[in-house]
A = this chain, B = another copy of it.
Amino acid sequence: MDESQLSDRQRQVLEAIRRLKQENDMPPTLREIAEAVGLKSVASAKYQIDQLKNMGWLDQIDNVSRGISFSDQGSRHQQEQEAAAESNVHIGKFVRVPLVGRIAAGGPILAEQNIDEWMTLPESLVGKGDIFLLKVKGDSMIDAAICEDDMVAVRIQKTAENGDIVAALLDDSATVKTFKQRDGHTWLLPRNSNYEPILGDEAQIMGKVVAVLRSL
């Protein structure tokens, strides 16, 4: 899904849709699009729309007037463009981060088959760096106010400092714990009195937890 795959005409159509939608506060009709980009036939406009639909840039509700909308991928592009263009209001940058599902030991943390979905988050929330999202299993960090099913944003780094909350790979599964080094050993401390500290010498540190997200 690269913008370079778009022809001039297709770029023109996308930009026209964005502009007309903003001007009129509703998506344009095929004929409005045709006129905006200089096409003399409605069918030509529909042809372009169908192309962009197949490429995943647009969604359209069939047989519904003005039923054109940007798809997830398309709107993300639009969003980033608008955010960059709208300089009078401070919006900041965005980071597109993968939500990692299955964890495979040994292999690279991030692999395409492990990624469930993508989410775009403001950089003010997760900071800079290589970030991925992990869904929390269990309640071992409840005293650190991290619950089951929370999503944690993890900045990839191989080590950590005492007290950092980290995501670590242990026995083929990812876990979130407090990092502590003492007496030459690495400990992964749960924050729940029902659990015992784990000796983490063999654990692989995936990164540091930099944000917590919870949907209720």
Contact = CB atoms under 8 A, between A and B. Distances in A.
B213 A211 contact: yes
A79 B88 CA distance: 15
Contacts of A90: 117-118
Contacts of A94: 75, 79, 120
Contacts of A212: 212-214, 216
A147 interface: yes
A25 B213 contact: no
B65 A92 contact: no
A209 B213 contact: no
B124 A122 contact: no
A15 interface: no
A199 interface: no
A161 interface: no
A60 interface: no
A92 B79 contact: yes
Given A25-B27, A120-B122, A215-B211, A78 B66 contact: no
A82 B91 CA distance: 9
Interface string A69-96: 1101011101100110000011111101
A114 interface: no
Given A78-B92, A90-B117, A147-B145, A26 B66 contact: yes
A150 B216 CA distance: 14
A116 B65 CA distance: 39
A146 interface: yes
A122 B119 contact: yes
A104 interface: no
Nearest to A146: B145
14 contacts: A25-B27, A26-B27, A66-B66, A72-B92, A75-B92, A79-B120, A91-B119, A124-B215, A145-B145, A145-B150, A210-B215, A210-B216, A211-B215, A213-B213
